Amino acid sequence: MMAKTEQLPEQMARRNWAILATLLIVSLPFGNLALSAGILAGGLVAIGGFLWMQRSLGRLLEQPTGGARFRYQFGYAIRLAVLAIILVVLIAVIKIHTLGLIIGLSIMVINLFWITIQYAFK
């Protein structure tokens, strides 16, 4: 059986989807589909970035020798560039609802806050 800390990335990945679904459901009664689309877009970007980072860290920990650290650092720079390009396209080209995008991108912050509260009261 895995320790609680070893299960944390998988728990976070599942909870990210639950938080995104909750935010979308809460946004729907406002009747502003642009807001809901922004939340969805931001949430997908945040979850995609998290999953990409999780996979990269897993590879780094599996092969800690040689050029693995450089590959991780290079991948980190690529990941940041790709996420920046996606955000620029969403904001400047598609003109996604900015508040919705910010709320969607906050999924990881909400998740980390939830985990902190959970561990504080155990």
Go through the chain and tell me how many residues it has. 122
Q: What is the pLDDT of residues 56-106, one digit of tens each?
A: 888 888 887 778 888 888 999 999 999 999 999 999 999 999 999 999 999
Instruction: Identify the pLDDT of residue 60.
Output: 84
Predicted TM-score of the model (pTM) = 0.89
Per-position DSSP letters for 16-27, written without gaps between them: HHHHHHHHHHHH
Which has the closest alpha carbon to 103: 44, 29, 30?
Answer: 44
Residue 92: both structure tokens together: 């400047």
Instruction: Write the single-letter amino acid at 60.
Output: L
Q: Taking a C-beta distance cutoff of 8 angstroms, is the pair 101, 42 a contact?
A: yes
